[in-house]
Amino acid sequence: MDSGVSSIKEILELICKKHKFALGNFYCPDDKGEVVSCAGQFFYIVDKNMTKFQQKSTKYPFMKGVGLPGRIWENMSHEWCPNV
């Protein structure tokens, strides 16, 4: 496994464990910087009931300012949502 991929997965695991998150997804902007999408190979899942949600997350890109991933991208700041 590429060290970059391994590092991202390790970071997601640390964040999820520390904050007791059931799922952590990693979003990346496309090459043109027009949309941000969930990178399917970059996730950490604790609760197997979240598997379908994680898989569907990879199918929906977000423009800047649209949806939670788009707002985070636009503001370049984290956002905590207790019940997404």
3, pLDDT greater than 90: no
Average pLDDT of span 70-78: 92
Residue carrying the six token digits 């788009």: 70
1, pLDDT greater than 60: no
Spatial distance between the Cα atoms of 44 and 63, rounded to a whole number of angstroms: 24
Each residue of 55-68: pLDDT tens digit? 999 999 999 999 99
Q: Would you state the structure tokens that stand for residue 23, as one six-digit string?
A: 């799922």
Each residue of 4-46: pLDDT tens digit? 668 999 999 999 999 998 999 999 999 998 999 998 788 999 9
Residue 83, in any domain of the structure: no
Question: Which structural domain range is residue 24 located in?
Answer: 3-75
Residue 50, in any domain of the structure: yes
Domain count, the chain: 1
Residue 80, in any domain of the structure: no
Residue 19, in any domain of the structure: yes
The predicted pLDDT at position 4 comes to: 66
C-alpha neighbours within 13 Å on the C-beta side of residue 77: 3
Residue 81, in any domain of the structure: no
The predicted pLDDT at position 80 comes to: 77
**Beta carbons of 30 and 37 less than 8 angstroms apart:** yes
